[in-house]
Amino acid sequence: MERNLKELISQMTLEEKAGMCSGLDFWHLKGVERLGIPSTTVSDGPHGLRKQDDKSDHLGINDSIKAVCFPPAVLSACSFDRDLLETLGETVGDEAQATDLSVVLGPAVNIKRSPLCGRNFEYYSEDPYLAGESAAAFIKGVQSRHVGTSIKHFAANNQEFNRMSASSEVDERTMREIYLPAFETAVKKSQPYTVMCSYNKINGTYASENPWLLTKVLRDEWGFKGYVMSDWGAVNDRVEGLKAGLELEMPSSNGINDAEIVKAVQEGTLDEAILDRAVERILNIVFEYVDNRKEQPLTLEEDHEFAQHVAEESIVLLKNEEKVLPLEKNEKVAFIGGFVKNPRYQGGGSSHVNSFKVTSVWDALTEKENVIYAEGFSSETDVYDEKLAAEAIEAAKQVDKAVVFAGLPESFESEGYDRKHMHLPECQDKLIAEIVKAQPNTIVVLHNGAAVEMPWLKDVKGLVEAYLGGQAVGQAEANILYGNVNPSGKLAETLPIKLEDNPSYLNFGDGDKVEYSEGIFVGYRYYDKKKMEVAFPFGYGLSYTTFEYSNVKTDKDTLTEGETLQVSVDVTNTGDKFGKEIVQLYVADKTEAIRRPEKELKGFEKVALNPGETKRVTFTVDKRSLAWYNTEIQDWYAASGAYELLIAASSQDVRLTKTIQWKSTQVLPLHLHMNSTLGELQADERSRDFGIELKLKMNALFGLGSSEDSTDAVSDEMGDAIAFSIPVRNAVGFGLCTKEELQKKLDELNQR
């Protein structure tokens, strides 16, 4: 239906327009009945809908309608499967249409800076490329149903402690390379209907009133077309927020901030055109949903089965010594732990879904004659119960294999607070250690929303990372454990050995100011650069079959501005089972133009292969794949030179490499001055000749390089090293030229 929104807005009173810029209540936008503008509903829902009809809250305290809890992002990201995430989005979009929800508040794409962040279970990854691609796919799926998404939390919201007032102190290069690209990819690829700004300040300015963030970057650079809404209670100054680009305040301010907007317009401190533009952006999204409203049934049972499929595609097999998995149906097995019958499958807070049913792994077992159950420990508390422990140890002795279902109680991680440590409950670590002594064939299955320390890791033969698997997690786990499904997930985050290894360890959880002093070295970028041992690397995951990579080729050896390059590789299933392999492409900058990570993820594909089958996987590489953000030119830049394309099974398992050349047409400005060094002059071809000229003159002055005597006090190599850091002003001090002559030459070079 064609609508003239400008004409509609011209019929609204100033008070009605101001009112459109805040919620009616906790979950509804205001309508204007006399003008045919309906009130619409939004709801939490990055992994399932949390529609509340009364007793509204944003921390998951009160119940919501019965719905399906799909695997949260912490697990679904491990699928590395864009098609799967798009289908997940379509399913969530259908449920939203069925329950009359216009906007789903998600996905959440904040980077996993620290494993302690209480909300990590809602976030995809430590890597911005994976997070962005995952979010773009999910958004595309949801919005194909004319239901909006609200990508969140924009931006640099990486802890829960003091999240409403702390300032994230982040340099621009780090923002651009780590904390903004997931949002950028999603906006450019999928145009989310809305963006949700975060609570925190960024370098001293609240995200809700940050024009650089909400207008310059989001709209002017990325081309965002929807509206920006606040996180619930994130508004600091409503009028300044509106000027900066915050269209909708949520929830309702009970008219208080609406009156501030009216007053500002009346007093001339707010241009009414800014208000009109905000209302138009909001109405555009409102009518996108209203004009495409579709009555349809809520297919809970079908969606439960799909939730199981997502979990099966995402669960990660981390350890499988002596092929302890899959379990055989005729083996006697002990299932141990409170999570066997009471699985933890989602996190706490605003995303908490009121699941219409939950399938535990015990429920999923169709035949239990060869399976013994022992509780061992509670899934909700950290208490070592001697009686329960003794029963579990005895059960482990009586069987061929023991499977311990361990994990974090819900109270350990939730929106609103951060974890204090990376440990499992002590009772669980203690019992696992005892079980291993009693039964050498022990497997651990983890239910957790973020990385945990595993002091027993070297002693167990099998390890399955199920993370938080959604309401059908039990059936998915059973199918993985018994080999009905071949595991194919890979880690979307590094699992460090201990908390202290994390790059943000000394700067996480501060109060007023949080210094992001690790810069771009987050996750595997840090661990790889330091060549640090980790428990399991980013991108790692095992299968019940094996894969071989071969025959890597590129369609060209040199790439330049505006071009793309294709790199392809053969992947063969060399085992005896059907399986899926996630092939990863990393890029390594060999130019040494600036300090960069050892490698960065720039592509991934999930390929399904029958035994003996080979398929060719192709990736596209462009300038952005090679580039870093140069703050001087305010643009992405890649220095001319060599780049390695790394075909890998994980960030630490590179199988094949191919070197290409990049020829840049970008020219960085020269800023030579009296204290520039000879090395700086020689590093740029525009000033190299002059740098060599000065160096030769200084060599002659000090008699360097004039003797063939190997006993010279200063070798040529030492002389070069010393000369590299000599300021050019020394040419004046050494009498090689006048100050005026030198400055004239530097000015001339700076114009090139």
Secondary structure (DSSP) of 154-217: ETT---STTTTT-EEE--HHHIIIIISHHHHHHHHHH--SEEEEPSSEETTEEGGG-HIIIIII
| Cβ neighbours of 424 (radius 10 Å) | 25
59: Cα separation from own chain's centroid: 22
The torsion angle over the Cα atoms of residues 600, 605, 606 and 607, rounded to 10 degrees, is -130
Tokens describing residue 272:
């009414």
Angle at 82 between CA 79 and CA 84, to 5 degrees: 65
Q: Give the span between the Cα atoms of 494 and 205, in whole angstroms.
A: 31
Q: Give the span between the Cα atoms of 479 and 308, in whole angstroms.
A: 10
Q: Give the span between the Cα atoms of 302 and 68, in whole angstroms.
A: 10
Given a contact cutoff of 8 angstroms between Cβ atoms, the answer to whether 234 and 198 are in contact is yes
Radius of gyration of the chain (CA): 29
Q: Give the span between the Cα atoms of 391 and 398, in whole angstroms.
A: 11
Which residue out of 81, 94, 127, 231 is catalytically annotated? 231
Task: Pick the closest to residue 526 from 651, 440, 654 (CA basis).
Answer: 651
Tell me, letter by letter, the H, E, C secondary structure of 204-223: CEEHHHCHHHHHHHHHHHCC
**Strands lying side by side in the sheet with 558-560:** 558-560, 653-663, 641-650, 579-589, 600-609
- Any catalytic annotation for residue 237? no
Q: Give the span between the Cα atoms of 679 and 677, in whole angstroms.
A: 5
Number of H helices, E strands in the chain: 23, 27
Secondary structure (DSSP) of 438-488: H-SSEEEEEE-SS----TTGGG-SEEEE--S--TTHHHHHHHHHTTSS---
Tell me, letter by letter, the H, E, C secondary structure of 560-616: ECCCCEEEEEEEEECCCCCEEEEEEEEEEECCCCCCCCCCEEEEEEEEEECCCCEEE
Q: Which residues belong to the active site? A: 231
